[in-house]
Amino acid sequence: METTDIKAKLTYDKNNKRHRRIRSTIIFILSLVIFVLIWWDISLLAHTAAVPSPQRTFEALVDLFTQGDLVTGYTMWHHMSISLVRFLEGLALALIVAVPVGLLLGYSKTLREFVNPMVEILRPIAPIAWAPIFLFVVGYTWGPVLVVFVGIFFPLLTNTIFGVQKIDNNLIDASRTLGASKYQVFYKVMAPCAVPYVMNGLRIGSGIGWMCIVASELYAASGGGIGYFVGLQASLFQWPNVYAGIIVIAALGIITTSLFDFVYKIIVKGMGME
C-alpha cells in the first residue's frame, strides 16, 4: 500500500512539473507576442524614424549577422565576441577577488568590522561613474573590463559574506570536535557551504555586468563591442541597427543570467537547501 502511494505521489509530482513548464512556456510566448504588438503600435503612432517597427528591426538584425554594417564592416558576431570577452574577463576578476575576500570577511568578525565602512562608502557608487577614471588610467581596452568588475564585485562580495554567516554553528562546532583546524574548517566547511550564495551573487551580478559593459562601451571603447556599435549607429541615425543591438544585449543578458540561475538551482537542490 505504501509503495503504491509513493508511486502515485512521484507520478503526480512529475505531471505537476510538466504542467508548470507548459504553463510557463505559454505565458512566456504570450508575453513576447503582446510586447511585439505594443511595440508595433507605438512605431505606427509615433511617426518617427527613432522608433522603427519590429519588422524593420528584425530585417536589420538578420543583415547585421549575415553581412555586417556598412560603417565598420564588422558583423554583429564580431561585436558580440568583443563584449562577451570583456564581460567574462570582468566576471573572472570579480570571482578571483570577491569570493576569497568575502569568505575572509564572513569568517572574521574583526576584519569585517574594519572593512565594512570602506565597502559601504564604495558600494552605492554606480559602476559607470568609475568609467572615465578607468578609461583614462588603463585605456579603452581594460577600462570597460574594470567597470564590469566593479559592477559584479559588490553583489558577489555581499552574498559570499552572507553565505558564510548563514552557516550553522553546530556544523562548525562538530568539525572542530572531530579535530579540524581553523584552516580546515575554513576551506572544508565554510567555503563549500557558501557556494550557493556565491552563485546567487553571480546571478545578480551578471545582469549588472551587462549594463556596465554596454554603458562603458557607449562612453568609449576600442575594437568594437555592442555598446560601441549602438552608440555609433545612433550617431548616424541608423535606428533599426540601434534597436537590433539592444535586442542582442537583452538576449545575452537573459542567457547569462538564466545560466547562472540554472546552476544555482542545481547546487541548491543538490545540497538540500530547497
Place of cell 561585436: 79
Q: What is the pTM of this model?
A: 0.83
Segment 216-245, tens digit of pLDDT: 888 766 678 899 899 899 989 999 999 999
Res. 107: pLDDT tops 70: yes
Tell me which DSSP letter residue 272 carries: T
Residue 1 has pLDDT above 50, yes or no: no
The pLDDT value recorded for residue 14 is: 59
Q: Give, as one character, the DSSP assignment of residue 125.
A: S
CATH class of segment(s) 55-270: mainly alpha
Nearest to 213 by CA among 107, 85, 39: 85
Give the per-residue pLDDT at 64: 94
- Helix H or strand E encompassing 1: none
- Residue 157 pLDDT > 90, yes or no? yes
Is there a contact between 216 and 147 (Cβ–Cβ < 8 Å)?
A: yes
- Extents of the domains making up the chain: 1-47, 55-270
- Calpha distance 274→260 (Å, rounded): 17
Q: Which residues of 251-263 are buried (b: 16+ CB within 10 A; e: fewer)?
A: ebbeebbeebeee
What pLDDT is recorded for position 273? 55
Polymer length in residues for the chain? 274
